[in-house]
Amino acid sequence: MTQTAAEPAVVAPPSPRPTRPRKPFRYRKAIAIFIVPFAALFAAFYLTPILYAVFQSLQKVEREGTFGAPTQVFGGLSQYALVFQNTEFWSSIGRVLLFGVVQVPVMLLLALLFALLLDSPLLRGKRFFRLAFFAPYAVPGVIAAIMWGYLYSPSLSPFSAVTSRAGLLDGGTVLWAVANVVTWVFVGYNMLIIYSSLLAIPTEIYEAARLDGASQWRIAVAIKIPLVVPAIVLTAVFSVIGTLQLLTEPLVFRQFTSTISSTFTPNMLVYSTSSVPNFNLAAAFSVVLAVATFILSIGFLRLTQRKADQ
Amino acid sequence: MTVDAPIRPAQSFDDATTPARRRGGGPRESVMSRTAAMVIMGAFTLYFLVPIFWLLVSSTKTLDNFNSSAALWFSPTSAQDFVGNVGRLFTYNDGIFPRWMLNSIVYATVAGALGTILSAMCGYALAKYRFWGREALFNIFLGGVLVPATALALPLFLIFSKVELTDTFWAVFLPSIVSPFGVYLSRIYAASSVPDEIVEAARIDGSSELRTFFTVAIRLMSPALVTVFLFQFVAIWNNFFLPLVMLRSQELFPVTLGLYTWNSNVSQYPELRTLVLVGALVSIVPLLVAFLSLQRFWRSGLGSGGLK
């Protein structure tokens, strides 16, 4: 930014001394007015809760005798020891990992397939398909889960001939019943991310291949897919975060079936622990879960970045 | 993800269907692959739309003919039953349902609009001014994108209970304003759509920094800000855990939490089942309309999210 003669009156920059190694802020006041409102709310509703959760997780409740008043004292890492000894915690983690390993690839492969078809000359009525596939994203998770809860129900479903026998909400399949709801809502959204990335590829890149008689399939595999890898990575990261946070859909399904325990997913475990109430342990669960999410998503980004560089 | 990468030129989805784009030379696609493509997309259209259609049909059924008539088609009395259902939905329990809808609309539009403006200001400053600690600040905000909202809800509850603000409007409204993702998008948009020359020219004309932002920059950023608003609107409308943790009074519930509580009482009050289904339909209609009519605005947001 070049120094101009007409300095706005609102900013009162102290005359910069050339001897100083760092220039003082110009437009200091304006920058503060722009940034402070968001930064203050961010500090209040993001940073403070995170720090408070860490603080809570390092506390424990002690009682004097059986009926004494509870007091909160420093507990070190004792809550974290309880977290890692908790079998329900591990089984809920195992459950969402299994869910993620199956559901995320299936959903992203479908999204990629739809995006490629929308981008190919094979289809008619693209606008209709795009809208139809995106529509479920407008349905909030709670509503989607209630809807599918009825559709799965052995007696109330319009497909009761199938659902009364299949037992979709039984212990063995209920996880996949949840996976289907999540897939239904998010495929179209991911499809649009990949599709807008496909639209950004200049046509010339595969014009030559077309003229040489390459099939759409060949063009997709050899040219298009490698170019949209960044978009796929992005959708994968958001899906992984979403999977670890799984809460709404299984919580709603508890209204339809008894096969979902109150500790079915890590977040449900946090919720049920906090309603005991045992806030210190719940906070420790939250912290472990947030750190795991952070590491997984950063790790995934790094891993795919490295592969792309090779 | 480098943020300063130039945004790709805006491109309409509909370009793909115009003849100019894809109808160059080359062999015609075989009938077989065309058919296969249509069959796949047709089958999945059913998968995506039948549940919504079923919801529409179910909302035209009374409790009595819910099981007796065809589940996926309307009954002879559908029109009047639908009107009756909607009437009962809006009057049940002294009109608690319209109250929930109103709450959702207020939470999502007011907090969303406020959040969009704050994000735009912050993103603009991060893009257009150089100052010490800028990148560090931006990275902290960006880290916020990866912090799951559910991890924040419980400590927020504890903090709000210290200041006795749980079970109030503010408990859901205030945390909803903050959208780190909005700052991230705003910074990209400001960098690409507000040229430095214009900001400089406004300075020479004697405009203050704030005035430049609110009269010039915000206009240049406005298509992008619609996207930021949409993202935040949907996030707030869909947010379930925060109100679940914070609220006890029914009259403060957003519609998602309200329908959830109704659905948990269906076994005791069977008449609620019809209301849950009609309510679900009524609650998604405004969203569906807003979504489909504003869909082009998703493009720019989703496209820039895919920057590497």
Residue B113 neighbours by CB distance under 10 Å: 15
Distance between CA A268 and CA A251 in Å, rounded? 7
Distance from CA of A135 to the nearest CA of B (A): 7
pLDDT tens, residue by residue, A174-209: 999 999 999 999 999 999 889 988 888 888 888 888
Tokens 């052995």, residue located: A154
DSSP A24: P
Percent of chain B with pLDDT over 90: 47
Domain finish residue from A20, A46, A75: A75
pLDDT bin (cut points 50, 70, 90) of residue B298 is low
Say if A12 falls within a structural domain.
no
pLDDT bin (cut points 50, 70, 90) of residue B12 is very low
Chain B residues whose beta carbon lies within 8 Å of the beta carbon of residue A181:
none
Distance between CA B152 and CA A293 in Å, rounded? 13
Same domain, A284 and A299: yes
DSSP H or E segment with residue A72: strand A70-74
What pLDDT score was predicted for residue A20?
Answer: 45
Distance from CA of A68 to the nearest CA of B (A): 23
- Measured between CB atoms, which of B41, B51, B299 is closest to A147? B51
Chain A residues whose beta carbon lies within 8 Å of the beta carbon of residue B122:
34-35, 37-39
- Whether residues A143 and B299 touch (CB distance < 8 A) is answered with no
Domain finish residue from A75, A97, A132: A75
Q: How many beta-carbon pairs below 8 A join chains A and B? A: 310
SS3 B296: helix
Average pLDDT over residues A107-117: 96
Assess whether pLDDT exceeds 70 at residue A274.
Answer: yes
What pLDDT score was predicted for residue A235?
Answer: 87
The ipTM (two decimal places) reads: 0.83
Same domain, A49 and A131: no
What tokens does A114 get?
């739809």
Average pLDDT over residues A127-143: 91
- Whether residues B118 and A134 touch (CB distance < 8 A) is answered with no
How long is chain A? 310
- Whether residues B283 and A215 touch (CB distance < 8 A) is answered with no
Say if A20 falls within a structural domain.
no
List the domains of chain B with CATH numbers: 81-305 (1.10.3720.10)
Distance between CA A96 and CA A81 in Å, rounded? 21
Assess whether pLDDT exceeds 70 at residue A161.
Answer: yes
- Whether residues B256 and A140 touch (CB distance < 8 A) is answered with yes
Say if A276 falls within a structural domain.
yes
Tokens 């600040």, residue located: B137
- Whether residues B150 and A48 touch (CB distance < 8 A) is answered with no
Say if A6 falls within a structural domain.
no
* Range name among A76-80, A193-197, B65-69, B78-82 with the lowest pLDDT average: B65-69
Same domain, A228 and A257: yes
Q: Where are the beta strands (DSSP E) in chain A?
A: 59-63, 70-74
Say if A290 falls within a structural domain.
yes
Chain A residues whose beta carbon lies within 8 Å of the beta carbon of residue B116:
none
What pLDDT score was predicted for residue A250?
Answer: 95
Buried b (16+ CB within 10 A) or exposed e, B191-221: bbbbeeeebeebbeeebbbebbbeebbbebb
Total domains, chain A: 2
What are the C-alpha distances in Å from B100 to residues A184, A251, A252, B28, B252? 26, 20, 18, 54, 7
What pLDDT score was predicted for residue B302?
Answer: 55
Distance between CA B287 and CA B265 in Å, rounded? 26
Assess whether pLDDT exceeds 90 at residue B124.
Answer: yes
Domain finish residue from A75, A109, A137: A75
Assess whether pLDDT exceeds 60 at residue B5.
Answer: no
Say if A1 falls within a structural domain.
no
Which range marks the domain in which residue A46 is found? 28-75
Say if A7 falls within a structural domain.
no
What tokens does A31 get?
């920058």
In B93-152, the residues whose Cβ lies within 8 Å of chain A are 118-119, 121-122, 124-126, 129-132, 137, 141, 144, 146-152
Chain B residues whose beta carbon lies within 8 Å of the beta carbon of residue A122:
29, 33-34, 37-38
What pLDDT score was predicted for residue B277?
Answer: 93
Long-range contact pairs involving A40-47 (C-beta distance under 8 Å, separation at least 24): A41/B118, A41/B174, A41/B177, A41/B178, A42/B141, A42/B144, A42/B178, A42/B180, A44/B174, A45/B152, A45/B156, A45/B174, A45/B175, A45/B177, A45/B178, A46/B144, A46/B147, A46/B152, A46/B178, A46/B180
Same domain, A144 and A39: no
Assess whether pLDDT exceeds 80 at residue A167.
Answer: no
- Provide the CATH number for the domain around residue A148: 1.10.3720.10
Same domain, A137 and A39: no
Interface test with A, best of B186, B209, B216, B304 (most A CBs within 10 A): B209
What pLDDT score was predicted for residue B306?
Answer: 39
What pLDDT score was predicted for residue B9?
Answer: 38
pLDDT bin (cut points 50, 70, 90) of residue B27 is low
Distance between CA A71 and CA A63 in Å, rounded? 6
pLDDT bin (cut points 50, 70, 90) of residue B300 is low
pLDDT tens, residue by residue, B135-178: 999 999 988 888 877 789 989 999 999 999 999 999 999 999 99
pLDDT tens, residue by residue, A211-224: 888 888 888 888 89
Specify the amino acid at residue B69.
S
Same domain, A113 and A55: no
The reply to whether B83 touches chain A by the CB within 8 Å rule is no
DSSP A223: I
What pLDDT score was predicted for residue A310?
Answer: 59
Same domain, A173 and A213: yes
- Measured between CB atoms, which of B8, B234, B292 is closest to A200? B8
Assess whether pLDDT exceeds 70 at residue A88.
Answer: yes
Say if A286 falls within a structural domain.
yes
pLDDT tens, residue by residue, B219-273: 888 888 888 898 899 889 988 999 999 999 999 999 999 999 999 998 888 888 8
pLDDT bin (cut points 50, 70, 90) of residue B23 is very low
- Whether residues B51 and A148 touch (CB distance < 8 A) is answered with yes
Same domain, A186 and A58: no
Specify the amino acid at residue B267.
S
Tokens 């069977």, residue located: B270
Interface test with A, best of B48, B176, B257 (most A CBs within 10 A): B48
Same domain, A148 and A172: yes
Same domain, A39 and A126: no
Chain B residues whose beta carbon lies within 8 Å of the beta carbon of residue A193:
302, 305-306
How long is chain B? 308
pLDDT bin (cut points 50, 70, 90) of residue A117 is very high
Instruction: Tell me, rounded to whole angstroms, the distance of Cα B9 from its chain centroid.
Output: 24
- On average, the pLDDT of chain A sits at 85
Assess whether pLDDT exceeds 80 at residue A309.
Answer: no
pLDDT tens, residue by residue, B172-202: 999 999 999 999 989 988 998 899 999 999 9
pLDDT bin (cut points 50, 70, 90) of residue B28 is low
* Range name among A235-239, B24-28, B31-35 with the lowest pLDDT average: B24-28
Distance between CA B259 and CA B280 in Å, rounded? 7
Same domain, A67 and A180: no
Same domain, A189 and A241: yes
What pLDDT score was predicted for residue B242?
Answer: 94
Assess whether pLDDT exceeds 70 at residue A9.
Answer: no
